[in-house]
Amino acid sequence: MRTPVAIIGAGPSGLLLGQLLHTYGVDNVVIEQRSADYVLGRIRAGVLEQVTVDLLHEAGVGQRVQAEGLLDDHFVIAFNGQVHNIDLLARTGKRVTVYGQTEVTRDLMNARAAAGLSTVYEADDVALHGFDGSSPYVTWRKDGVEQRLDCDWIAGCDGYHGVSRASVPADKIQTFEKVYPFGWLGILADVPPISHEIVYANHERGFALASLRSPTRSRYYVQCSLQDQVSDWSDDAFWAEFAARLPAALADKITTGPSIEKSIAPLRSFVAEPMRFGRLFLAGDSAHIVPPTGAKGLNLAAGDVGLLSRALAEFYKEKSSAALDDYSRRALARVWKAERFSWWFTTMMHRFPENGAFGARMQIAELDYLMSSEAMQTAVAENYVGLPL
């Protein structure tokens, strides 16, 4: 088998890259370790920047997000028992769209199947070869049979734990990481949301987040210990803790119900540099992780593949490698700005036990300043809606 571009990973970044390349007339094959059902079953982010929505339209899969996505002009910050709005539309002229990552993945899977594009699921022992030379190829086992795919380029879109970054020699890559001393306990429930806007709450008991997937489905989180297990938290215990961290005006709007998914996620900031190694490119979580506070993970991945797809199209259409040569620099410039915003927002909203009472007062001072400064609100809004690609 041969293809111009081998894409490792069938998550939203890999599938979006494949669909964009298809629209540009560049053939590609997607190789995924897991089953399609597993990929589709992962519950992830749900806030899309306009850059991401535009890329979905460019890829020909924007119909459902336009019809069913919920447009948000504001988001809410709660602290000291009060509720404050950050007006995104007034500050930037832009909105965000609430539309679950699962639905993005579903739309991309359906489009890829409809176009008859090649996707290999349940590929065992995926390995990348020759990307430091001129003839890269990928091998894997499927149903016990060894397979090989020759290609011009490899795009590593297989996430933080994937094979792509792990295939790079240690002396060729530099990593930067911050691990946060807490996690997020999240539940998904078929209950109406407490607000049409996303709510971020700073509270002495810890951070809380109220998000939504639809007018009848909510996604809620509370900051928790890394030692906690999902089994430690009954639904009743979650609802009680969630309500305790919200101002009364919002807590009174909570509708409780059984969780349909419950999980604990650790938080980290991570960047790998560079994002190109010969004929291997990294994109999305294989190159960087952000804490979910700023809703940047999926959007950063979309930005990466937007840059990479256009660079590859330029290579095949114009016989120019200029954009490919500049991919890592351009992607990392955007990545580090998003890392900074996500780190700052996380630091302001969560309880850090080691910072004590002084740290808690500094957070309130920062929040007070944010709410009194139009300039700072504009800066926050610009980062939240997403920086230009």
Q: Where are the domains of the chain?
A: 2-49+96-177+268-347
**Segment 213-241, tens digit of pLDDT:** 889 999 999 999 999 999 999 999 999 99
Provide CB contacts within 8 A for 34, sequence distance 6+: 10, 121, 122
Vertex 54: Cα angle to 64 and 344 (nearest 5): 105
Burial classification of residue 297, based on how many CB atoms lie within 10 Å of its CB (0-12 exposed, 13-18 middle, 19 or more buried): buried
- Segments in the chain below pLDDT 70: 43
To which CATH superfamily is domain 2-49+96-177+268-347 assigned?
FAD/NAD(P)-binding domain (3.50.50.60)
CB 271 within 8 A of CB 339: yes
CB 288 within 8 A of CB 270: yes
Spatial CA neighbour of 101 closest among 184, 40, 180: 40
3-state helix, strand, coil in the chain (%, to 5): 40, 30, 30
Running DSSP on this structure, what letter comes out for residue 295? S
CB 284 within 8 A of CB 300: yes
The token pair at 160 is: 């933080």
Distance CA 244, CA 240 (A): 6
* CB crowding 364-386: b at 16 or more within 10 Å, else e: eebbeebeeeeeebeebbbbbbb
Distance CA 32, CA 11 (A): 8
Global confidence as pTM: 0.94
- The pLDDT of residue 42 is 77
Is the bond into 274 cis (omega within 30 degrees of 0)?
Answer: yes
Spatial CA neighbour of 31 closest among 108, 109, 143, 124: 124
Three-state DSSP state, 3:
strand
CB 201 within 8 A of CB 209: yes
What is the DSSP code string of 249-288? HHHTT-----EEEEEEEEEEEEEEE-SEETTEEE-GGGTE
Q: Which residue has the tokens 């920062």?
A: 366
- The pLDDT of residue 46 is 84
Given CA atoms 185, 191, 194, 196 in this order, what sign does their dihedral have?
Answer: positive
- What are residue 188's DSSP bridge partners? 219, 261
